[in-house]
C-alpha cells in the first residue's frame, strides 16, 4: 500500500508531535507514524519539569541557563545550539501554556518553578528555581496537549506502524517503509520531507527507565545506510531509579529537598559536590552513588542501592507535588516516602548521541556539513549536540519542543519549495527480505536469550564506570551476538500482531546501537561527562574536545569506522571557555 504526503514524521512523542504540529501550520499535508498510540509515547514518563529561565520564583536569565547547559555537557555541547535553545525555550514554555498545558502555579498564578540538578544562578554560584512543572507528570501533560493540538491541526496518524526502512537514494530521502501491526502488511510512505523523532535505545541495558519500545530503530536504520551516529559513547544513567526495577524517580524529588543517604544515614553528596550537593548534574550524582556502593555503604539486601530521604518534607509536598513517585514507591517497593526511606539506584536513562543534525534538524552525513536532502531529526533520536557529554535534567523536554518545532518549520518550508521526488525501485524489497529471513528461518537461536545477554553485558562492560579491557571484551561479545542473531528464528510465522516477530526485528536494531556505542566509547581515551574511564581519569581537551562520528563499515561486517566533527565553541552572542567542571 502506498501513501503520499508533503511531510512525514516518524515518532509521536514530544519531538514528533511538536514537529508535526509546526509542519501542519506550514500549510502542507502531514502524517505521523507511531509504534504506539501517541499518548502512550515515552515522553509521558518524563516527570520533573521543563527548564526555562522565566524568573517566576527567583531571578534568572537565559545566559545562566546556557552556561549551565554548556558546563553540564562538560564543554562538548555545541554552544550555538545551547544559545538557541536557552532563548527559544522561554517562548516555547509560554506557548505550551497557551495551548492549555496545566502547569502547577505559584500563589500569584504564574507558572511554578523548582530547583533541578545542575541549574544555577550567576554562572554556578547557587541552585536556582528554573524547572517549570505540572506536579510530577510534566511529560504526560506535554504529550496530551500536543496530541490534542495535532488533532485540531488535521495531522493524519498511523498508529502501531513500525518503520523498517528509510528510502534514501542519491543523497535524497524519498520516504519510509513501515510494517502495519494490525494487518501484517508493508506500507510505502512517499514524502517530500521526513522527520525522524522515534526516541532512544535504552533497552540496550538491563536496568533502564526506558519503555520496551525504545530500541533505537531509526538510529540503526540510518547507521545501516553507512551514515554516521554522533557521540554514541555518551549515555546518561539517571541517579534515581526504583531499586531493581529502574522505574524513573524524578530529579524533582531532590529539587523539592530530597536527600541521598548511605547505609550510615550520611548525606554523602557533601563530599562530592559541596556547593550544590544532591542537586549536582546527573553523571556526578550517579557516579557518587556507585562509589558509595562499591565502598560498602550501599543499602538493601544486596547492598547495591542508596536511600532517598523525603521524611523531613511536609506530607502535602510529597502527596501533592510528587504524587506519581509516591504512588510508584508504595506500589512497587512497599515503601511510603512520607515515613520511609526509599531505595534507589542508577538506571540507564538517556542517549546524548544519535543522528547528527544542524540547528534546524537537517540530518548530516559527515563532520564537514554534508547532509541528506529532505531528511530531518529531532529529540533523543537526534544529536544537535545540545547535551554534549551529559544532559541536564529538564533539558530533554526542552529539546523536544525547541528542536522539534525548528525541524517542523524547516521541513515544511522545504516541502513547499520542491516536487515529490521519484520513488526508488521496489521500495519494500529490503524490509520484505528482513521479515522473510526471520519468518522462514530454521535457526535455533532465541531472540530473547540474545537480548538478555546483550543487556547484561552492556550493563557490566559499558555502564557508569568503563575501562579498555572490559569494552574490548564487549566488542567481541557484540560480534558474537550478531553472528548468533543471523541464526534467530521465530516460532510463529504469521504476520498480524506478531509481537515475537517485532521483538526479533528490534533486537537487530539494538545490536547495531550497541556496536556503535561500544566502539565509540573504546575509542575515546579520556573521561568526560557521562563517559567515565577508569584507565583515563582526566578530561583531555587537547586531544578529545571533538565529536565522535561512528560509521558502519559496509565492506567489513563488524567494523566501525570512527570520524570526528568539531565542537562549536562559540555561540552567536555568548561563549564559555572550557574550564574544570566542579560544583
- The rounded Cα 427 to chain-centroid distance in angstroms is 29
Active site residues: 282
Q: How far apart are CA 216 and CA 227, in angstroms?
A: 15
Which 8-state DSSP code applies to residue 230?
E
Whether residue 56 contacts residue 113, with contact meaning beta carbons closer than 8 Å, is answered with yes
Using DSSP, state whether 55 is helix, strand or coil.
coil
**Under DSSP, is residue 163 helix (H, G, I), strand (E, B) or coil?**
strand
* CA distances for 130 relative to 60, 98, 232, 300, 538, angstroms: 8, 19, 28, 34, 31
Q: Is residue 240 within 8 Å of residue 207, measured between CB atoms?
A: no
Length, in residues, of the chain: 583
| Helix extents (H) in 333-428 | 395-417
Cβ atoms within 10 Å of 440's Cβ, excluding its own: 11
Sequence-ordered alpha helix ranges (H) in 335-446: 395-417, 429-439
Structure-block grid coordinates of residue 127: 541552585
161: which 3 cell numbers?
Answer: 506502524
What does the angle CA 157 – CA 159 – CA 161 come to, to the nearest 5 degrees? 115
Q: How far apart are the first and last CA of the chain?
A: 56
Residue 488, all three cell numbers: 534467530
Angstrom distance (rounded) from CA 192 to CA 5: 7
Give yes or no for a contact between 88 and 409, defined as CB atoms under 8 angstroms apart: no
| Distance, CA of 268 to CA of 54 (rounded, Å) | 32
Q: Please count the other Cβ atoms lying within 10 Å of the Cβ belonging to residue 212.
A: 11
The closest alpha carbon to 66, from 48, 78, 49, 50, belongs to: 78
Residue 448 grid cell: 530473547
CA–CA distance from 536 to each of 273, 295, 465, 531 (Å)? 21, 21, 11, 10
Q: Is 97:109 a contact under the CB 8 Å cutoff?
A: no
CA distances from 59 to 22, 103, 123, 128 (A): 31, 20, 13, 8
Nearest residue to 196 via CA among 227, 224, 175, 226: 175
> How buried is 311 (Cβ within 10 angstroms: 0-12 exposed, 13-18 middle, 19+ buried)?
middle
The continuous run of DSSP H or E covering 217 comes out as: helix 217-224
- Grid coordinates in use for 5? 504526503
Cβ atoms of 330 and 247 closer than 8 Å = no
Cα atoms found within 13 Å of the Cα of residue 370, Cβ hemisphere only: 10
Q: What is the DSSP letter of 333?
A: I
Question: What is the rounded distance in angstroms from the CA atom of residue 213 to the CA atom of residue 35?
Answer: 8
Amino acid at each position: 500500500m502506498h501513501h503520499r504526503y508533503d511531510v512525514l514524521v516518524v515518532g509521536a512523542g514530544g519531538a514528533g508531535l511538536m514537529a508535526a504540529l509546526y509542519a501542519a501550520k506550514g500549510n502542507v499535508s502531514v502524517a505521523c507514524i507511531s509504534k504506539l498510540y501517541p499518548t502512550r509515547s515515552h515522553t509521558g514518563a518524563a516527570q520533573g519539569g521543563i527548564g526555562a529561565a522565566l524568573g517566576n520564583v527567583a531571578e534568572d536569565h537565559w545566559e545562566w541557563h546556557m552556561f549551565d547547559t554548556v558546563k553540564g555537557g562538560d564543554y562538548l555541547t555545541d554552544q550555538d545550539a545551547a544559545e538557541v535553545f536557552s532563548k527559544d525555550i522561554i517562548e516555547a514554555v509560554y506557548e505550551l501554556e497557551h495551548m492549555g498545558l496545566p502547569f502547577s502555579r505559584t500563589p500569584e498564578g504564574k507558572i511554578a518553578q523548582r530547583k533541578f540538578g545542575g541549574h544555577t544562578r550567576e554562572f554556578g554560584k547557587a541552585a536556582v528555581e528554573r524547572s517549570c512543572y505540572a506536579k510530577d507528570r510534566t511529560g504526560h501533560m506535554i504529550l496530551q496537549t500536543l496530541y490534542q493540538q495535532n488533532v485540531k491541526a488535521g495531522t493524519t496518524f498511523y498508529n502501531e506502524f513500525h518503520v523498517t526502512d528509510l528510502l534514501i537514494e542519491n543523497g535524497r530521502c524519498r520516504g519510509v517503509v513501515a510494517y502495519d501491526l494490525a494487518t501484517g502488511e508493508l506500507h510505502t510512505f512517499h514524502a517530500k520531507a521526513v522527520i525522524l523523532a522515534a526516541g532512544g535505545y535504552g533497552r540496550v541495558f538491563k536496568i533502564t527507565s526506558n519503555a520496551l519500545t525504545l530500541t533505537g530503530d531509526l538510529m540503526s536504520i540510518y547507521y545501516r545506510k553507512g551514515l554516521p551516529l554522533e557521540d554514541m559513547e555518551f549515555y546518561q544513567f539517571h541517579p534515581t531509579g526504583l531499586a531493581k526495577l529502574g522505574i524513573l524517580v524524578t530529579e524533582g524529588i531532590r529539587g523539592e529537598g530530597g536527600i541521598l543517604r548511605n547505609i550510615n544515614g550520611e548525606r554523602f553528596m557533601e563530599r562530592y559536590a559541596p556547593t550544590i550537593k544532591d542537586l549536582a548534574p546527573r553523571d556526578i550524582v550517579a557516579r557518587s552513588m556507585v562509589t558509595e556502593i562499591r565502598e560498602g555503604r550501599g543499602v538493601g539486601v544486596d547492598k547495591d542501592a542508596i536511600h532517598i530521604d523525603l521524611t523531613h518534607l511536609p506530607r502535602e509536598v510529597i502527596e501533592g507535588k510528587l504524587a506519581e513517585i509516591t504512588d510508584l514507591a508504595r506500589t512497587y517497593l512497599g515503601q511510603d516516602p512520607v515515613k520511609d526511606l526509599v531505595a534507589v539506584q542508577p538506571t540507564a536513562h538517556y542517549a546524548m548521541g544519535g543522528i547528527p543534525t544542524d540547528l534546524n534538524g537537517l540530518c548530516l552525513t559527515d563532520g564537514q556539513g554534508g547532509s541528506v536532502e529532505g531528511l530531518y531529526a529531532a529529540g533523543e533520536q537526534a544529536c544537535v549536540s545540545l547535551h554534549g557529554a551529559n544532559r541536564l535534567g529538564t533539558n530533554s523536554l526542552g529539546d523536544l519542543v525547541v528542536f522539534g518545532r525548528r525541524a517542523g518549520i524547516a521541513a515544511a518550508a522545504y516541502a513547499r519549495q520542491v516536487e515529490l521526488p521519484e520513488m526508488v525501485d521496489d521500495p519494500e524489497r529490503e524490509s520484505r527480505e528482513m521479515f522473510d529471513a526471520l519468518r522462514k528461518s530454521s535457526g535455533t537461536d532465541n531472540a530473547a536469550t540474545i537480548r538478555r545477554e546483550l543487556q547484561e553485558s552492556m550493563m557490566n562492560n559499558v555502564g557508569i564506570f568503563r575501562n579498555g579491557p572490559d569494552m574490548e571484551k564487549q566488542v567481541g561479545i557484540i560480534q558474537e551476538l550478531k553472528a548468533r542473531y543471523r541464526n534467530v528464528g521465530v516460532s510463529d510465522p504469521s504476520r498480524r500482531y506478531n509481537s515475537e516477530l517485532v521483538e526479533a526485528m528490534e533486537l537487530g536494531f539494538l545490536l547495531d546501537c550497541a556496536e556503535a556505542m561500544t566502539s565509540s566509547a573504546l575509542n575515546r581515551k579520556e573521561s568526560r561527562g557521562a563517559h567515565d574511564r577508569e584507565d583515563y581519569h582526566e578530561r583531555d581537551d587537547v586531544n578529545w574536545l571533538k565529536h565522535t562520528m561512528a560509521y558502519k563499515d559496509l565492506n567489513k561486517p563488524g567494523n566501525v569506522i570512527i570520524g570526528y566533527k568539531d565542537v562549536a565553541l562559540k555561540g552567536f552572542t555568548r561563549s564559555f571557555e572550557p574550564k574544570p567542571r566542579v560544583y
